[in-house]
A and B are shown apart, each in its own frame.
Chain A
Amino acid sequence: MLKGGLYPSVRFPQMEAYELTRYSIFSLIKQGLIRHTGWKRAWRNPEPKAAYDVIIIGGGGHGLATAYYLAKLHGIHNVAVLEKGWLGGGNTGRNTTIIRSNYLLDPNAHLYEHSMKLWEGLSQDLNFNVMFSQRGVLNLCHSKAQTDAFARRGNAMRLNGIDAELLSRDEVRKRIPELDFSDQVRFPICGGLLQPRGGTARHDGVAWGFARAADQRGVDIIQNCEVTDFIIEGGRVTGVETTRGKITAGKVAMAVAGHTGVLAQKAGLTLPIESHILQAMVSEPLKPLLDTVVTFGAGHFYISQSDKGGMVFGGDIEGYNSYAQRGNLPTLEHVISAGVSMMPCLSRVRMLRSWGGTVDMTMDGSPIIGKAPIEGLFINGGWNYGGFKATPGSGWVYAHTIANDAPHPLNEAFTLERFARGRLIDERGAGANPALH
């Protein structure tokens, strides 16, 4: 323990009392003067009521955002978010926080761009700093054919009103001199597709910001409450069984990410989803090295530098079904070798830790957001390894769908029925193999 020093008498705040406050520069200065001992709980810790208008299962970013927009935009305040663990303890708190809307296909482009616009005003809207940093997302390309494909995607993005710039090799080099530009590389860098408005955000800040803002609008956030079954009466979902008792509701909406398949099974639904493990890593903190997000185009590898200085990176999923929330070493080795071939200076960086999360991979690589085939039940899942960037947009369209019993134009293509109808949204054209998306 650190004794003495700059603030010899720092006490940790007790955090018992709950107070509805607005955060501002003044509240920060006031707390600074009393050595941050006066911060109060940011949201209540209520007991579950017997009934709600809407129950949202899953207190990750998507579930919390959905509750927030239901209360804020649709006047539905009698809402509970039921979380089996703690807020953001799922993929929200495990992801590498890359935010982008650089998609080729129209439904994806519109959904993720809507989300991007919400991100741009999110800290103000929530009165909570989600540390959204538009540092740009750069995809490298390594061949003539790949450059052509990137030009095509960049043009499609621009036609959809999304920012995209095709950079030459020299332009990439000027921005990121640490990449391997030597003559003898196996995958020479030919250029890159940059989305300047892309970037990163603070993952658990997003969960906390939405939780606090939803709570202030009357939403009950209930942690340590696992949904164990659905109550179905006359073909309609009328509530849920939980580890804290039975709770009834007019509508029940799932937002459980990696557990979408197992939970839907309890309502008798088999989904076009496999749950897989995605791992990520962070290095010891370094001095400023990389001021943007870069992805390797000749293998699966992406990297950014956190505000603390850690190099945060990841790559491929493990490739087999798993709920273990941990992966194996061969994948880490594979990811790191791709990273070192892209950015050789990484080879001497020491890794601090690695972790895994359970991601819900769909058969076409795109999410499912809409009504379930049972009355009163809604599905939001199948986010693959890219759902963090969708958090505000996903909550926004899902809240609309729940409130109106019908999808918003932005999510009407993302139905569960699209698989039976052949209307897939397969961005990579990889076919019905979840491990390939």
Chain B
Amino acid sequence: MPSLVAAAFEAPYLDYAALAPEIVLTGVLLAVLVVDLFVDEDRKAVVAQLAGVGLLASLLPVVFLAVDGDDRSMFSGAYVVDDFALVFKALFLVSGYVVLLMSTDHIEEGDYWKGEYSFLLLSSLLGMVVMSSARDLLTIFVALELLSIPAYMLAGWRKRDLRSNEAALKYYLLGVLSSAVMLYGMSLVFGATGTTVLEDIARELGGDASEPLVALGIFFIVVGFAFKVSAVPFHFWAPDTYEGAPLPVTAFLSVASKAAGFVALLELIFMGFFGQDNVWQPLFWVLAVLTMTVGNLVALRQTNIVRLLAYSSVAQAGYMLVPFAVGGSSDEAAGTAQTAVIVYLLIYAAMNLGAFAIVMTVARRTRSGEISSYGGLFTYAPGLTVLMTIFVFSLAGIPPFGGWFAKFYIFKSAVDAGTGWALALAVVAGVNSVIALFYYAGVAREMWMQPVPGDDRTPIRVPPALGAALGITAVAVMAIGVYPQAFARLGDLAQLAVR
């Protein structure tokens, strides 16, 4: 019987500067929970403001760490603060702030328990911030659960609304099933390598021909995360959950939660399993083709704007899976693939949050999610129409808005890889971009050319918080589209070292 008696315990080295963003965020979310207890019901806005200021405060240490520039590693490589981690921490904190701005009025009018809402949102963000630094199977698992469990509750926030209940139930059951499947895969990988740290796993696995145990483990892990990023055929929860959940939560799930899934995939694939590309490359190839095609084709038939955005976000996940399917051939291809995914995630966050902010603003007046309710929007809300046009054309990938650059990088990664399979994938992605143009342009046509339904032309009032969210996202989309070099640089810096 082998012995498990470990050596004498040594306290691990803790770099508090590297952990500062997490520490500040934890402090803020506890403060939010406590302050919420002592604030009167009519002054709950204070709690949301505290959460917002706290999010910006935890962004400060991220900026300082980025200026400092050193890579910091803790717990024998299980928790690393490098450029990759910092870029994604910043992305999560900023998009969390935008979601908080979008929530302020939505939760106040017609929803309840504002304090707890902010608390859960911050908890989920903490999970994402931890995820960007996790370089270990166990840490990735804990981060994934920390970001998912509050999100299940947020999806069911409207307790008496049957649709919201259904959204929460579907999201919960598939989320838990996917993390259980992923865990089974992790247990197999642990069995094959005897370690949970990604760096050591890469060393143990090397580029050798895969054992069946490892191949099965990687398969289950990828399937688990395919649920998380809503890749076809594991996407069926997404449209229902997006439609039933409160709108700001939908925006949060479709952007931040999806990005966290991709962050975990980047870490696992390019740090842990890179040598085993004969296992994961074909898997991602099939997922990417299915996700792009099914997402776009089903989006064509949607009449509800939220469901349209849900299927469009499925399709967008498909584009982001393309670099994974072509990144395994060489270290260079891996670098280009990572840059492509990182740049796409940053731009996608801005344009998708912006589109949801518009949907929320319009829904405040029309109380409807039907695309037909956008008819003639230009005649009574020209500003919103122009912004929405920018966001949908950016999602479609038309210059000079940010989205074209993201798409360009996806194609670049496929063409640079140069293999027949990669080029075939680039062709599929190209055809899909054309299909996508139809439904995105359909929304624009409705707003600019169709008559106003019911001829109700009262202007739409934009509350300041929602206006700020719109401003941030619109500026980001335009800035990326006009000065893409700065973002490409960010993507290059943030690559993980491939082993």
Question: Are the chains A and B members of one assembly?
Answer: no
